[in-house]
Structure 1
């Protein structure tokens, strides 16, 4: 008996997706609720699960194909299945097969994604020697790059020999649907909004002292680490409540003001930057915010973010400091009107009470849509955030 596998409902206003990767090949056994392929939409990646135990049947769409909701993409056959169809036998002159893979790695070329296969060929790495860190032990492109960096250097050429210069190569890779959407939205933000950025710097001494003093007690009580993001989220709430325009958005000829604060937190995912939303930050505790951020970070890494996770958002915080960025002009996340950019902390000389002292300083940036937010409002909002971070007591007494 054959069961049809169709593209599931993808979310509000999302009608099509791209086949990102087939996780099971025809003839392989599948278990109920096991992922058989991943779909890439313009917002998130979604796994399609097997409805019951069986054998992977025919695949009616290839990786990279665009498919619509409810389209037939594969079948699941009854039976216990076996290994995927073997690759063609190598020619007599082919080299001996690679040694067996280490435990936990995925080396069959059929289950390597196109990007990973290209990386394996480019770096000349035997996938059997790589331990996968991806979902279900699959090898990722980062695994290949890491293996290439740790690969022993080739023995030096013997005297009199001349090493051949490596050929110059180019590669064309189709943009994922998520990357295409990111590109369109960022370009649209530049074209439609009157973007402007204001900067300030923050002395992180008080927050760092507070965090170091309470981080162990906090982790023991709440089961989560105390990070800097919750401080900035709470400081942003103060600023957005004082300057409502920074938490508003334009809808046609109207300005929509929100009496709640849903903060989009920019998170790095395998396919690009995503911005899941921590809802009701104005009502959440520090622990609630940290737990929500940690959960989204884990889901982003695993590729399990849902449409609901990405929905809404009235303001965005983007932390380029985790990558070492000193200063940037972040782009707003439409239809929002402002985004706060955080950067790396570094010791710098500053003047305090007429004396030059060393303090851990961070540049912060607020990019905003000048059509709705005046310069005075933007500067005031950023100054409120600065003051709350430099004196965290303000976060407790709503000042």
Structure 2
């Protein structure tokens, strides 16, 4: 006897609702057959048979709420209840055909189970419980190598590729672009060896075209409860299947039933129609999160910005004088960012409020300096963290920034590499920005904006001289940082940049 229980559904998910049972008591089942679909507030999960046998008692009815680990049903051994189901076959035919039938069942199972491997969603970080299916890189029938990327999953923090667990042929894609998945969910089936895929692909065709599977079970319940017309709902799932999200969207617009079809055709970003010269593209999960967090920061913090400018002559002269020797010894170029990281760390020690954060009615002062360095990528802005930057040399900072920047552009940053910064530096100057007001990276209370170095006429000792100048902008949370502290901090950064030796002597 094998117990069928509710699997883990994600770190923050504690219960689920039983959807549609695909089998009933007394049905013969094979290992990996789908038994029931569980629905959570984030994703629908299929529970599969863990062994061959016959369905025994079902303990949870459709619509019941069940907790993680709760018993859903049992599968009896084939020798008990299975014998009752096999008796009519034994009465109506001799044992020879029965014996011949068994290998056929096992062959079918071998093709669908022993030789077919599921590609599943990997763990995407400690606090990430779901992601959105991005672009599929393969299609059913494609040959793939082991570890070849099959699909990209977008989360609110990082993009993750799902690799092929084996070399073989893609037999079926289980989820569509835009679907929400959780760690451990199966996204595709891979047949080891090209010949093994002919049967599964042929079997999948009729089932996908059938009326029953055109609407996902979880969606069917929503359609039935809201008395919707399934024919008027445009499915966004694989091969036009109607997903739960499609049904919920249609239910939300149910009062305007005659206009249901046009509403379904419009993208969820905005209700208005797009013109012939417009293109509507759904925001990625990362872009949605960036938008939400930036707006949340503006709503929660009292953001104020103070400006100054720095003469970059000393740093530029130092780089010119020592660049060749620096590269020969450390293998990386001496850039501007390492000087800024050092200057900011040095100033933070003098003005600790800029390195603190508000937690309820308390202020948390941080006696460590983990610097977030904003990096622009094709997917959006990410902020990897240089840990304990105050204890690093210029060469160590440059190497770490190069390493993190490459991982960011390749979409391979881990969650740990983007969490826990105490202060952020954003360099808009690399794109030509002359002046800007950066937005706080919550819950931090300060962010420094670097800008383009531009030669400008400056007054010095009564004479006009041309200097390489950079505008600096410090945005800060006025709830915790007073104006005096913010101005003092920015002046210290300016002084450290204009005379880097101050940092050597701890001035």
| Equivalent residue for 1:213, pick from 286, 310, 321 | 321
1:395: how far off?
2.2
Q: Would you say 1:183 and 2:291 are equivalent positions?
A: yes
1:168: how far off?
5.0
Q: Would you say 1:55 and 2:169 are equivalent positions?
A: yes
Q: Would you say 1:28 and 2:142 are equivalent positions?
A: yes
Cα distance in 2 for partners of 1:347, 1:267 equals 25
Q: Would you say 1:298 and 2:406 are equivalent positions?
A: yes
1:303: how far off?
1.4
Deviations along 1:271-327, one digit per CA (max 9) or x if unpaired, are: 101000011101111111101111111112211111121121000000000111010
SS at match of 1:282: helix
**Size of the alignment, in residue pairs?**
317
After TM superposition, list the pairs within 5 Å mapping 1:193-342 onto structure 2: 193-342=301-450
Cα distance in 2 for partners of 1:192, 1:168 equals 39
Q: Could you tell me whether the CA contact under 8 Å between 1:59 and 1:75 is conserved in 2?
A: yes
Q: Could you tell me whether the CA contact under 8 Å between 2:117 and 2:166 is conserved in 1?
A: no
- TM-score of the superposition, structure 2-length normalised? 0.61
1:81: how far off?
7.6
Deviations along 1:150-202, one digit per CA (max 9) or x if unpaired, are: xxxxxxxxxxxxxxxxx951111111000000000000010000000000000
Deviations along 1:196-250, one digit per CA (max 9) or x if unpaired, are: 0000000000000001111111111111111000000000001111111111111
Equivalent residue number for residue 130 of structure 2: 16
Deviations along 1:85-113, one digit per CA (max 9) or x if unpaired, are: 9xxxxxxxxxxxxxxxxxxxxxxxxxxxx
When you count helix as a share of all residues, which structure comes out higher? 2
Q: Which runs of 5+ in 2 are unaligned?
A: 1-114, 202-274
Equivalent residue number for residue 4 of structure 1: 118
Cα distance in 2 for partners of 1:81, 1:278 equals 50
| Equivalent residue for 1:72, pick from 186, 192, 208 | 186
Comparing 18-27 and 241-250, the one that deviates more: 18-27
1:44: how far off?
0.7
Equivalent residue number for residue 153 of structure 2: 39
Q: Would you say 1:379 and 2:493 are equivalent positions?
A: no
Cα distance in 2 for partners of 1:354, 1:206 equals 20
Q: Could you tell me whether the CA contact under 8 Å between 1:322 and 1:343 is conserved in 2?
A: yes
SS at match of 1:378: helix
Cα distance in 2 for partners of 1:81, 1:302 equals 35
SS at match of 1:69: coil
Cα distance in 1 for partners of 2:498, 2:194 equals 63
Whose RCO is larger (CA < 8 A, sep 6+)?
Answer: 1
Q: Which runs of 4+ in 1 moved over 6 A?
A: none
SS at match of 2:389: coil
Cα distance in 1 for partners of 2:360, 2:372 equals 22
Q: Could you tell me whether the CA contact under 8 Å between 1:54 and 1:81 is conserved in 2?
A: no
Equivalent residue number for residue 117 of structure 1: none
1:12: how far off?
2.0
Distance change in 2, residues 1:391/1:21 (3 Å): same
Cα distance in 1 for partners of 2:296, 2:362 equals 19
Q: Could you tell me whether the CA contact under 8 Å between 1:27 and 1:81 is conserved in 2?
A: no
1:57: how far off?
2.4
Cα distance in 2 for partners of 1:282, 1:25 equals 49
Cα distance in 1 for partners of 2:416, 2:142 equals 32
Cα distance in 2 for partners of 1:49, 1:394 equals 50
Cα distance in 1 for partners of 2:122, 2:305 equals 41
SS at match of 2:124: coil
* Greater Rg by CA: 2
Distance change in 2, residues 1:191/1:81 (3 Å): farther
1:398: how far off?
2.0
Equivalent residue number for residue 395 of structure 1: 503
